[in-house]
Structure 1
Amino acid sequence: MSDGATRVLAGLLEARTGQQLQVGRRWRLETGLAPLLRSHGYASADALVSHIQAGHDHALADAVVDALLNNETSFYRDQASFALLKDKGLARLQRERGAGRRLAIWCAGCSTGQEAYTLAMMFADEPARWEGWTIDIVATDVSRGAIEAARAGRYSHFEIQRGLPMAKMVRWFDKEEDVWVAAPALRQAVRFQQRSLLDAAPHPGRFDAILCRNVLLYFSSSLRRQVFGRLASVIAPDGVLMLGAGETVIGNTEVFVSDFECRGLYRPILPEDAWRAA
C-alpha cells in the first residue's frame, strides 16, 4: 500500500470518527481491508482508495471506516472495574436516586455490545435490589456494523467465552447451531444507536453514569478534551464516569476528577472542588 493511500485512509478515519490511525495500528490497513478488497474485486488497496476518492460510493467509504475501527471488547471486561461500579458507583446512585427510582446510563463506544449487555445482566441478576426501578441503558457506537451486531446479540463460541461465566452464559444466552444468542429480555434492556462521540448525546440527554472505555486513547489530545467536555455537559453533577483500565482524566481534562468515594471512577468537577484546592 502506498504512503498516499495510507494518508487518505487515516484522514478518512479521523474525519468520520475522530480516531487517529496511530503507527501501532496501521497493521489494520492490510488485515481490515482484505475482505473488502476480495468482495469488491479490487486488486489493491490503492485501487480501492482511488474509487473512494472519486466520491461516487458513500456506502463503500462507510464500509472502509468500519473495517478500520478497533472493535475489541468482551463481557465483564476488566472485572474489577465492573465490581467497583456495582458495589460503589451504583450503590451511591441508588441511595441518591431512591425517591425517583430511575437511572439513565450511557455506554459510549459500545462496539458489538458485550459491555452494554454486561450492564443489563448486572441489574437483572439483582431483581430484589432494583425492584421498582426504571433502568434506561443506551449504548452507542460510530460503527454501523458493530451496532447491527450488538442489536442482534449473536456471538461466536469464542466471543461468548471471553469474560462471561458459564452460569450467566446458560441463563442469558441460547445456543443456535454455532452461535449464542442473547435472550429477548436481555436485548430489550439496551437501546443501541449508531452515534459518534462527536454527535449530540442520545436521549434522555442527562445521565447518571457514563461508560466510555478504551475509546478516547485513539483520539488526539485536543479532541479528547473536547469529548470530555461533551460528556461533562450531559452527566449529572453526582454522576460517575467509567473509563478503560489504562485510561485516566489526569492530564487530559479539567472537567472531571477522580471520585474520592469510588477510586477508579471519575466524576464531574464541582464548584466546591475549587474551594478544597484553595
Structure 2
Amino acid sequence: MAVDDASHRIIGDLLAQRTGQQLTEGRRWRVSSALAGLFRECGIENVDQLACMLERPGEQQLATRVVEALLNNETYFFRDNAYFSVLANQVLPDLAQKRAATKRLSIWSAGCSTGQEALSLAMIFAEQPGRWKDWTIEILGTDVSNKAIATARSGQYTQFEIQRGISVAQMLNFFTDCDGHWQAADRIRSMTRFQQHNILDYPPSPGRFDLVMCRNVLLYFDPETRAAAFDRLAGGIARDGWLMLGAGETVVGQTERFKPAAFGSSLYSPVHEDLAAANRPPLRAAVS
C-alpha cells in the first residue's frame, strides 16, 4: 500500500469513527482542498504529514478539526424548493389536522448544517400567520459539526449565503443587514433551536417529532450504518409522523422501520413494530 493510501485510510477511519461517514474513493479528491487551510496552519504540505501528526498522542483537538473540515456542510435556503412545496401544501396541512387539539408541532432537521433548512421551515410558518395562529412551533436543528451549529445559532449569513434560495422580498422581510452580514429576525429564530448531535446517537426527543427531515445525510453511510441511522430516526418520530429524505436516498431495501408514503417523493411514514432497535447502543462517537 502506498503511503498516500495509508494516510487516507487513517483519515477515513477517523471520519467514520467520529461521524459514521465513509471516505469513499469518490470523496478522496476533495480531501486536500478541504484540508488546505489546516495544512497552512500546521505548516505541512500533504495528507501524509497530517496522518503522522494524527498518530501522535494528545492530538484530539487536531482530529476534531480534521473531521470538521471534511464534513460537507453544503446547504442553502429552500434547497430543492419542490420539497418545501410538498411540505407547505401537503405535509403541514396533514399535521395541522392531526395536531388540532394540541396546536403544537415538533420538527427535527437532522443534519441541519448551518441552519438554512430549519429557518426555511420557520419562514413557511411565518408566511401563513392565519393558519398557525396560537400554535407552538418547535424546530430543532442538529448536526455533528460544532462549527456549523455555531453559525446556525448565530442566525447570521453572508451576502452570498442570503442570496441562495430566497427572494428579495423574503430577504427583506426576515433578515436585517448588519455590517455586511444578514441577521435572521427573531420571529423566525424563536421557532428554532440548534444543538450538536450525531444521528447515530439516541434521538434528542424520543417519539416526539411530527416531522423529521434528514436530507443528503444517509448517502454518506455504508449499509450497516445507514440501517442504524434509520433505527435512530424511527425512535425519534411520532407514530403518525413523517420522514423526508433527500432525492438520492430511500428506505426501500435499506430498513423495515419506514415505508413509502402515499403522496410526495422522498416522504416516508414509520412502521412501529419494534422500538427495541432504536434503543441499541450508538455505533459511533460524536465529534467532540
* Smaller-chain TM-score bracket: over 0.9
- Cα deviation for residue 238 of structure 1 reads 1.0
Question: What residue number does 2:217 align with?
Answer: 215
Question: TM-score under structure 2 normalisation?
Answer: 0.90
1:1-278 correspondence runs (5 A): 2-203=4-205, 206-269=208-271
Deviations 1:197-249 (A, max 9, x none): 01121136521100000000000011111111111122111100011122211
Task: Tell me the SS of whatever aligns to 1:81.
Answer: helix
Deviations 1:91-140 (A, max 9, x none): 11110110011111100000111101101111111111111111111100
Task: Tell me the SS of whatever aligns to 1:11.
Answer: helix
Two-structure CA RMSD over aligned residues (Å): 1.6
CA contact (8 A) 1:243 1:265 kept: yes
- Cα deviation for residue 161 of structure 1 reads 1.2
Task: Tell me the SS of whatever aligns to 2:142.
Answer: strand
CA contact (8 A) 2:139 2:192 kept: yes
Shift of the 204–121 alpha-carbon distance from structure 1 to 2, 3 Å rule, reads farther
CA contact (8 A) 2:246 2:266 kept: no
Distance in 1, Cα, partners of 2:265 & 2:219: 20
Percent identical pairs in the alignment equals 50
Moved more, 124-133 or 51-60: 51-60
Q: Number of aligned pairs?
A: 271
Question: What residue number does 1:276 align with?
Answer: none
CA contact (8 A) 1:255 1:269 kept: yes
The letter of the residue matching 1:231 is L
The letter of the residue matching 2:25 is V
Question: TM-score under structure 1 normalisation?
Answer: 0.93
Task: Note the residue ranges of structure 2 that are not aligned, 5 or more in a row.
Answer: 274-288
Distance in 1, Cα, partners of 2:48 & 2:162: 36
- Cα deviation for residue 183 of structure 1 reads 1.8
Shift of the 30–228 alpha-carbon distance from structure 1 to 2, 3 Å rule, reads same
Distance in 2, Cα, partners of 1:34 & 1:162: 25
- Cα deviation for residue 17 of structure 1 reads 0.3
Shift of the 54–270 alpha-carbon distance from structure 1 to 2, 3 Å rule, reads closer
Task: Note the residue ranges of structure 1 that are not aligned, 5 or more in a row.
Answer: 272-278
CA contact (8 A) 1:256 1:269 kept: yes
The letter of the residue matching 2:124 is M
